[in-house]
Amino acid sequence: MASRLAFIGFGEAGQYMSEGLIRQAGAEVAVWDILFADAERAPKLLAKAKAIGARAAGSAADAMTGAEIVFSGVTTDQSLVAATQCAPDLPRGAIYLDLNSTSPGKKQQVAQVIETAGGHMVEAAVMDLVPPHAHKVPLLLAGPQAKPVAELLTALGMRAEALDGSIGKASTIKMCRSVFMKGLSAIMLECVMAADTAGATEEILASINKTYPGIDWTQAFTRTLAGTSIHAGRRAGEMKEVAATLEELGVTPLMSLATSARLQDAADSGLRSIAEANPPQTLDDVLANVRVARARQAKAAE
């Protein structure tokens, strides 16, 4: 089933999902990212689009021309901005699929913008890491058009489940899950930072393995923190949306805000650039990168 699709935002999710849809579903995909106008960062993104067979558009409106489904995968703080900019040019009858990790309240604001302009918005909660699954990453959909859109996505080889309920239902589930998932990564990071400084990493991991047998905790720490090294900044922003969700639910987001702070500190230390230059394969590699980042951060603070 060939379809014309557009991705607004060509970050990790946009790249992996569009590549899968092009290569496995034969979809025609146009992509647009605000960084296409950035002289330093655009060449790498444009080269990626060319490599996977996506058309790099000259604007959001250009990308959406003739699209049946518009996927919005921007940074969390830009989801409403993107919707506001896209709404006037959304093709008649097209679906605006918001993939962004934002609070239910923000999803509802996006829906209002899209629907006021005559479009149809469906929220999508991405329920696993995108890279290993590409376009087959599990999605939860919510909104009046969730069921027919789930059928469209399934026909493209995607894994989409429609929920009963209005806009906000899927993001509520996603945000509550993130309290645990991203909270765990922050706890792991803080734990090994302290353990490494104390020279007790092996002993602490051995103790955790005894307390919670059946899980290779060294492998779990390695896999989790390798991803956190690259995505700490984005995840810190997402945890602010988690905090907003908890506040909407009447729950004080003590741990969510702490998670955001720990992840933001990792991002501010420059860990991402160090990890990209030295991709970690083992926990020792992760710790070596963290040491370099912390040392640079301390020197900059002097």
Calculate mean pLDDT across residues 266-290: 97
What's the confidence (pLDDT) of residue 1?
Answer: 44
Q: What's the pTM?
A: 0.89
Residue-wise pLDDT tens digits, 140-167: 999 999 999 999 999 999 999 999 989 9
Query: Where do the domains of the chain lie, and which CATH numbers do they carry?
Result: 4-166 (3.40.50.720), 170-301 (1.10.1040.10)
In three-state form (DSSP H/G/I as H, E/B as E, the rest C), the secondary structure along the chain is CCCEEEEECCCHHHHHHHHHHHHHHCCEEEEECHHHHCCCCHHHHHHHHHHHCCEECCCHHHHHCCCCEEEECCCHHHHHHHHHHHHHHCCCCCEEEECCCCCHHHHHHHHHHHHHCCCEEEEEEECCCCCCCHHHCCEEEECCCHHHHHHHHHHCCCCEEECCCCCCHHHHHHHHHHHHHHHHHHHHHHHHHHHHHHCCHHHHHHHHHHHCCCCCHHHHHHHHHHHHHHHHHHHHHHHHHHHHHHHHCCCCCHHHHHHHHHHHHHHHCCHHHHHHHCCCCCHHHHHHHHHHHHHHHHHHHC
